[in-house]
Structure 1
Amino acid sequence: MDKKAEIFNCGRELFLSKGFKDTNISEITKMAGIAVGTFYNYYSSKEKLFFEIYIKENEKFKKRIFESIDMDQDPVTIVRKLVGQNISAMNSNPILKEWYNRDLFRELEHYYAEGKENDDSIRSLYTGLLKKWKAEGKIRDDIDDELLPAFFDSLAYIDSHKEEIGIRHFPQLNQYLAEFIMKGLTDFQK
């Protein structure tokens, strides 16, 4: 196995078991059997390694969603299932859960905003579905295409403040809000 793949695999294993914050480069290199300097031949920082691992985890998750959901169902049902699976993945995968790490979230958000791997984000899944449904007349056509995904983006921001709102209400609150958003986008007076 090449060194970069070994660093990636060891980093993934440590991020899964210890989380981003509690994993350091020296642990990754020790597990990989390489010197710390060798790490920097492949990754400029722990964050860059983590972002690459995060993207791969996100790709696997997105693929599982596509395989498990019948995309011909009505938009409300599809979004209800997507949000449910997203919440489940975030709670069960420590790497994906880092999206809610306030310190790391801004960097991940910036990474996606720069356009790197943007087509692999869950946001791109929602955006694509919303555009498709809009073109098919299944959702409102009076809302700008750039505003549509912002409704779902707001769920991530709300979820990142769950402590202030009350943890006992999550994830049910996000599921209801997603359902209310979709009903508002689909059940309207023409």
Structure 2
Amino acid sequence: MKDKKADIFQSGKELFLTKGFKDTNISDIAKNAGIGVGTFYNYYSSKEKLFVEIYTKENEQLKKAIMESLDLNQDPVSIVKKIVERNIDAIHANPILKEWYNPDFFRKLEKIYHKESGESNDSLPNIYKELFKKWKMEGRIREDIDDELLLAFFDSLVYIDTHKEEIGIQHFPQIILYLAEFIIKGVTDFQK
């Protein structure tokens, strides 16, 4: 028996990778999956819902690969810089992940993403949360900054990245890398 949902997922993934979100339509996805458009709607209520499912899976795989590539015994500055560098490189190399930064689609994607999938264990905030918890227990990170504020520092990097045109595109991704470094140095600096 053929798994139609898996076929739709794979078809959507292929088309989103090659054509992008905007230029992919449901009839293309259905045709590529060998099904009718009506059958598509038996599994997904919209192209956006399919995209979010694909995006979530791609994002989880990226974060897992990043974490597996790290030496967690390194100092926090080195680890955070590597996480940010690898995340930026992967986002720019993967058209599906890059859609998160598409200003025409970002707000819609963000709403659906948080409603449908919430935060997975492999999301960047959860990765940072676990690292901060570990580093606090080891005495490597300031105690006077609560966990929520620590995460907010790094969440702000995403918002800065989504406004890179206003700041000056010529400064990216260097500005994000430096800001991540400055933040982690600040939260690990006990000399204050």
- Structure 2 length-normalised TM: 0.93
Q: Is contact 1:14–1:28 with CA below 8 Å preserved after alignment?
A: yes
2:86 maps to which residue?
A: 85
2:96 maps to which residue?
A: 95
Distance 1:162-1:70 versus aligned 2 partners, 3 A rule: same
- Matching residue's letter, 2:169: I
Distance 2:185 2:116 in 1: 30
2:13 maps to which residue?
A: 12
Distance 1:112 1:150 in 2: 19
1:112 is displaced (CA, Å) by 4.9
2:23 maps to which residue?
A: 22
Q: What is the CA deviation profile of residues 126-178 of structure 1, one whole-angstrom value per residue up to 9, with x for unaligned ones?
A: 12212221222111111121111111111110011111111111001100000
1:105 is displaced (CA, Å) by 2.3
1:108 is displaced (CA, Å) by 3.6
After the TM superposition, which of the residue ranges 143-152 and 175-184 deviates more from structure 2?
143-152
- Matching residue's letter, 2:82: K
- Which ranges of structure 1 fall in alignment gaps of 5 or more residues? none
Look up the SS of the partner of 1:6 in the other structure. Answer: helix
Look up the SS of the partner of 1:27 in the other structure. Answer: helix
Look up the SS of the partner of 1:34 in the other structure. Answer: coil
- Matching residue's letter, 2:6: A
- Which ranges of structure 2 fall in alignment gaps of 5 or more residues? none
Distance 2:125 2:155 in 1: 7
Q: What is the CA deviation profile of residues 86-143 of structure 1, one whole-angstrom value per residue up to 9, with x for unaligned ones?
A: 1101110011111112233223433454482512322211122122212221111111
**Residue 185 (str. 1) matches residue 187 (str. 2):** yes
4+ aligned runs moved over 6 Å, structure 1: none
Identity of aligned residues (%): 69
Between the two proteins, the alignment pairs up a number of residues equal to: 190
- Structure 1 length-normalised TM: 0.94
